[in-house]
Chains A and B, each alone.
Chain A
Amino acid sequence: MVTERFVLAVDQGTTSTRSIVFDRGGRLVSVRQREHRQFFPRPGWVEHDPMEIWANTQRTAAQALRDAASSAGEVVALGIANQRETTVVWERATGRPITRAIVWQDTRTEELVARLSARPDAGIVRERSGMDIAGYFAGPRLRWVLDHVPRARERAERGELLFGTMETWLVWNLTGGPDGGVHVTDVTNASRTSLMDCRTCAWDPELLDFFGIPVAMLPGIRPSVGELGTATALGSPIPITGALGDQQAALFGQACFAPGEAKCTYGTGSFLLQNTGTELVHTRSGSISTVAYQLAGEPVHYALEGSVAVAGALVQWLRDGLGLIGTAPEIETLARSVADNGGCYVVPAFSGLLAPHWRGEARGLVAGLTSYVTKGHLARAVLEATGWQTRDVVLAMAADSGLALPALRVDGGMTTNNLLMQFVADVLDTPVVRPMVGETVSLGAAYAAGLAVGLWADVEALRRNWHRSAQWSPVPARAAQLDAEYPTWEKAVRLSIAWGAD
């Protein structure tokens, strides 16, 4: 009997862990999801329990495999996508974490980062890792653990402790844990530590020295697509053959394999990544260079990344903070009650501005208020803020890479908002397209794993799986109008930075 071949993807995200089985057409066969607890022990601190996440991974994976078993298919590979930069340190002998995972949103390393940045040799971080020193990355968090957990540094130097981002933690546990677990990371996750040389894709001794990290605790760096180990913890053994940080996984799931191709995920924040090919781009305009993916035996592909902290979160604020709407999608109804923004602009710099401005001191503002402005105009300004910020990021990337943006591939919850998507198309003067499978992060992990075992022949086969579910084309007159309006938005951004400056 001919059975179909499936791939299991685990998307270990910030709020939940999802296990999804995909078929060869990239369609969902089964989905299971489980949320985990968020710990906020102090202002600015965010933690997860690694044991809870491991338990949720086993549980959801087992359920998704069971659900798929009725579909007469065999799961031939496992791929992992994970929340990036979240840091776990555990005991090699027992598998017990020595502290809770420090999450990517956590800002406890601010002071440490300021101290490190002030060092005369701080320039090597940007030179080698491709990124400035920032609390956003995993390296400073690992350093914080070594500094604050009793005896951690000496135990790490003796090789008793292991470090990993979430995919490393899960692969180690899936492949046996204390009993022969494989200690590896993929090149995209390694690139988010500030400890890897982004050209050679190996741990850099001088960076390790700079951050004070013992090499003994670091995982081996592997390609994103290729053999990582064999999962023995889920019943019958499954080869683990793909791992990617979640935003890189979305880029892969959106089939952005050629230089210039880009995707933007509109969730709480927005994350835009543009493939720049096999050459690392030196950035000057506010985007950052990062590793996009690597197929085993092939050169590394790089991407430019522009992260915006507040996108959907601004709509949530309109709902929860102001009570102007009952549910997030209702913002479109409110915004359509008026024809334009009425001269109103919202800069959602709730805790500073990320790409391309990188101004932590900026604070949010509503500009252009007159007695003419109604809640409808405010709703429009809130949606437009996400569009303007996308333009800020796209312009910075264009300046850095010199690559044209043929179209922007979008995913995430806000893509059901037609008003916003049309605004993005107009403000970029570029078509915006949404794929049929909205689960791009999980799909990217599945693609990586399936590609490695030959379920798909090459990336061209993945490209053929990608189908448009919607397209928003720019309207020339509106694009010209927004182009003329852009300096007004830029002025509002300058004001928000000035407001927070003192």
Chain B
Amino acid sequence: MGTGCPTVRGVPGTVQSLERAAAILQVVAGSGGTLGVTDIAAAVGLPKTTAHSLLRTLLGIRFVEQDRAGRYALGPGLLKLGAGHLDVNELRSRASNWADALASRSGQAVRLATLDGDRVVVVHHVFRPDDSAQELDVGAVLPADRTALGRVLVAFAPHRTVGGAGPVRADVAAVRARGWAVVDGGWEAGVAGLAAPVRGSTGLVVAALGISGPVETVLEGQRGPRPRLVAMVTESAQAISRELGWQG
């Protein structure tokens, strides 16, 4: 193992199983959901049976989750803990000024969404600043696979129970790698969405921030979203993350 690997070293006077569990969580967090019990046991330098019983305990308290192939990822229990159980109304209040500024600069409607269980729920909505008739859709549930907001939340979810359809899964790696998602007309014909992750104080993704507007405004033909808009959305999402205490 390279430097900084969380191999367990006993420190006198401490609880060994807690140290081991913490080491496992670090490995799972770093793996992005790609490791099974054998790899995890090897990474922390424990017998497979010991690692297995620790992982079973972590599964029970939902600090980790397991997919069908037996690979582990961080679980929703940890997300709640990490976000200090971030209240959605608190989130809206903290994000409001940044969301207004994003709508104002991009000229597009802005939405902030979170995961409520498996559902993608709009928690804040700023109108497109053209004074046309628009309705607030705070509380609306969006299709996870057909909106940029949903794709970001799925891609960065610490557990893999959302969405689940094939094309979404293929998009996950790409979204995680570039830090934003784009959907062309998936939900509403002629409308494209562009979204980026908002992180809580621990770095876990707690929400997605996105704009939506006419395809020809948001996209640059076949070349994807306009770089200017990508920069605005990712910078605004980062600003909200900093507002929530993320230091990254």
Give the interface of A toward B (CB within 8 A): 25, 27-28, 326-333, 413, 416-418, 436-438, 467-472
Contacts and interface: CB of A to CB of B under 8 A. Distances in A.
Given A329-B89, A469-B103, A438 B96 contact: yes
B242 interface: no
B81 to A, nearest CB: 15
Interface stretch (B127-135, B148-156, B189-197): B127-135
Interface of B: 87-90, 92-93, 96-97, 100-101, 103-105, 124-127, 129-131, 134-136, 138
Nearest to A421: B136
Given A330-B89, A416-B124, A437-B104, 18 more contacts: A25-B104, A326-B87, A327-B87, A327-B90, A329-B87, A329-B89, A416-B96, A417-B89, A418-B138, A436-B103, A436-B104, A467-B104, A468-B131, A469-B100, A469-B103, A469-B126, A470-B125, A470-B136
23 contacts: A27-B105, A28-B101, A326-B87, A327-B90, A327-B93, A329-B89, A329-B92, A329-B93, A330-B87, A330-B89, A331-B89, A333-B87, A416-B92, A416-B124, A438-B97, A438-B100, A468-B129, A468-B134, A469-B100, A469-B126, A469-B127, A470-B125, A470-B136
A330 B93 CA distance: 10
B206 to A, nearest CB: 15
B136 A472 contact: yes
A333 B89 contact: yes
A361 B174 CA distance: 65
B101 A328 contact: no
Contacts, number: 65
A73 to B, nearest CB: 16
B129 to A, nearest CB: 4
A218 to B, nearest CB: 39
Contacts of A327: 87, 90, 93
A27 B104 contact: yes
A470 B126 contact: yes
B131 A467 contact: yes
Interface secondary structure of A, over-half rule:
mixed
B122 to A, nearest CB: 11
Contact of B93 (A25, A326, A328, A469): A328
Contacts of B126: 436, 469-470
Contacts of B105: 27
B127 to A, nearest CB: 5
Nearest to A336: B89
A302 to B, nearest CB: 28
A473 B148 CA distance: 28
A58 to B, nearest CB: 25
A472 B96 CA distance: 16
Contacts of A413: 93
Contacts of B100: 436-438, 469
A326 B131 CA distance: 36
Nearest to A417: B89
A470 B89 contact: no
Contacts of B93: 327-329, 413, 416
A279 to B, nearest CB: 30
A293 B19 CA distance: 67
A437 B99 CA distance: 11
Nearest to B125: A470
Contacts of A470: 125-127, 136
A27 B100 CA distance: 10
Nearest to A332: B89
A280 B97 CA distance: 36
Contact of B130 (A25, A418, A467, A472): A467
A472 B135 CA distance: 8
A468 B132 CA distance: 9
A160 B103 CA distance: 52
A471 B89 contact: no
A329 B96 CA distance: 12
A332 B87 CA distance: 10
A438 B88 CA distance: 20
A330 B94 CA distance: 12
A330 B90 contact: yes
Contacts of A328: 93
Contact of A333 (B88, B97, B125): B88
Contacts of A27: 101, 104-105
Which among B92, B97, B103, B136 has the highest number of chain A CB atoms within 10 Å? B136
A467 B136 CA distance: 15
B228 to A, nearest CB: 16
3 nearest A-B residue pairs (beta carbon): A329-B93, A467-B129, A332-B89
A375 to B, nearest CB: 15
Nearest to B97: A438
Contacts of A28: 101
A163 to B, nearest CB: 37
Nearest to A414: B93
Nearest to A25: B104
B90 A329 contact: yes
Nearest to B129: A467
Nearest to B126: A469
B236 to A, nearest CB: 13
A470 B131 CA distance: 10
A330 B131 CA distance: 30
Greatest chain A CB density within 10 A among B93, B103, B126, B135 is at B93
